[in-house]
Amino acid sequence: MPAPTILLPHDPFSERRTDPHYSAEARLVRGLGGDTALVDHDALLAGRAVHAVRLVPAGLGPVWYRGWMLPVEAYAAFGRALADRGCQLLTTPAGYAAAHELPGWYRTFEGATPDSVWLPAGSGSVTLGALEQAAGQLGGSGPAIVKDFVKSRKHEWEEACFIPELADLPAVARVVRRFVELQGEFLAGGVVLRRFHAFAGATEPGGGARVAEARVWWMDGEPVLTGPHPDTPGVLPEPDLAAVRPLVRALGCRFVTTDLALRADGGGWMVVEVGDGQVSDLPRGTEVSALFASLIAA
């Protein structure tokens, strides 16, 4: 089988150039002897997958994507449009959904990740009754956080992320509804409530977003790169991966990331979130050749 080609988004202003956010990755791949091709991210988001892959040479065979996050439906359409050109995404649409959206990976990581429940986020579905039931499933009291199937609004921590007390239903509703409002049309899937844990590095619950996480990149169940989380590029924790490795293997996706944080109460490392490796951001200033070498050797 030929070596996989790495597909990257093109510059929104020039379809001949790599998006500046990914140009260092493109250079790295080519420096390692790998091939790259460009795709149109805006067209993928707009539901125009066939147009989006017009610059991908036909018959490339296996491909990985490295680019901005895509909704699962857009990724599925991307895969079909590529297949029509004789190119196979090495992460299937089902695999992408499993790693990218919390309900896809949660059961596999249950116990190693904060307890979580989710509800649909359609207009009017975040009722007090639904929130009470969800809070009850998390034990009914104590702090929590809200996010959607993919992202939180951690930069609006007090207003739209952190829930100080699940038993205070009006306050739960205020934070969750503000989250839904701010996500707007970009809300992915539904609303997730997760039990809050104090992680090492945080000074207080409100400091959760300053936790120093480790982002571990896995290829075929092996850790190929452990780096800082992109939000804290200067802090490199050294997580113990013994408990996480079998869970990543059980998930069965070839290329994923896990963000790990150390519980402040001595409970060990927890998986804060799982991600598809194709759309996880790399920390600045970390040596990532090994990661790309394993991608083009896959």
Ligand X SMILES: Nc1ncnc2c1ncn2[C@@H]1O[C@H](COP(=O)(O)OP(=O)(O)O)[C@@H](O)[C@H]1O
In the complex, the smallest distance separating the C-beta of residue 90 from ligand X, rounded to whole angstroms, is: 23
Residue type, 238: E
Rounded Cα distance, 48 and 46, in Å: 6
In the complex, the smallest distance separating the C-beta of residue 74 from ligand X, rounded to whole angstroms, is: 18
In the complex, the smallest distance separating the C-beta of residue 85 from ligand X, rounded to whole angstroms, is: 32
In the complex, the smallest distance separating the C-beta of residue 208 from ligand X, rounded to whole angstroms, is: 4
In the complex, the smallest distance separating the C-beta of residue 213 from Mg ion, rounded to whole angstroms, is: 7
Beta strands (DSSP E) in 31-184 are 36-39, 61-65, 87-89, 116-120, 144-148, 162-163
Which of residues 39 and 272 has its CB atom nearest to ligand X in the complex?
272
Which of residues 87 and 161 has its CB atom nearest to ligand X in the complex?
161
What number of chain residues touch Mg ion (CB under 5 A)? 1
Which of ligand X, Mg ion, none binds 36 (CB below 5-8 Å, type-dependent)? none
Which of ligand X, Mg ion, none binds 40 (CB below 5-8 Å, type-dependent)? none
Tokens matching residue 208: 């959760």
Only one residue has tokens 């986020």, namely: 121
Q: Are 7 and 23 in contact (CB under 8 A)?
A: no
Which of residues 91 and 116 has its CB atom nearest to ligand X in the complex?
116
Which of ligand X, Mg ion, none binds 10 (CB below 5-8 Å, type-dependent)? none
Residue ranges that bind ligand X, judged by CB under 6 A: 114, 145, 147, 151-152, 154, 194-197, 199, 208-209, 211, 213, 259, 272-273
Which of Mg ion, ligand X, none binds 67 (CB below 5-8 Å, type-dependent)? none
Which of Mg ion, ligand X, none binds 296 (CB below 5-8 Å, type-dependent)? none
Q: Are 69 and 97 in contact (CB under 8 A)?
A: no
In the complex, the smallest distance separating the C-beta of residue 133 from ligand X, rounded to whole angstroms, is: 19
Rounded Cα distance, 251 and 274, in Å: 10
In the complex, the smallest distance separating the C-beta of residue 242 from ligand X, rounded to whole angstroms, is: 22
Burial of 204 (0-12, 13-18, 19+ CB in 10 A): exposed
Which of residues 195 and 249 has its CB atom nearest to ligand X in the complex?
195
Which of ligand X, Mg ion, none binds 100 (CB below 5-8 Å, type-dependent)? none
Only one residue has tokens 């804290």, namely: 232
Which of residues 18 and 278 has its CB atom nearest to ligand X in the complex?
278
Under DSSP, is residue 139 helix (H, G, I), strand (E, B) or coil? coil
Q: Report the 10 Å Cβ neighbour count for 138.
A: 19
Which of residues 48 and 210 has its CB atom nearest to Mg ion in the complex?
210
* DSSP letters spanning 90-110: SS-HHHHHHHHSHHHHHHHHB
Which of ligand X, Mg ion, none binds 25 (CB below 5-8 Å, type-dependent)? none
* DSSP letters spanning 8-62: EEEETTEEEEE-GGGHHHHHHHHHTT--EEEE-HHHHHTT-HHHHTTTSPTT-EE
Which of residues 91 and 232 has its CB atom nearest to ligand X in the complex?
232
Rounded Cα distance, 240 and 235, in Å: 16
Which of residues 84 and 158 has its CB atom nearest to ligand X in the complex?
158
Give CA separation, 241 vs 99, 211, 214, 282, 288, in Å: 18, 18, 11, 19, 19
Site for Mg ion in 236-295 (CB under 5 A): 273
Residues interacting with Mg ion, by CB under 5 A? 273
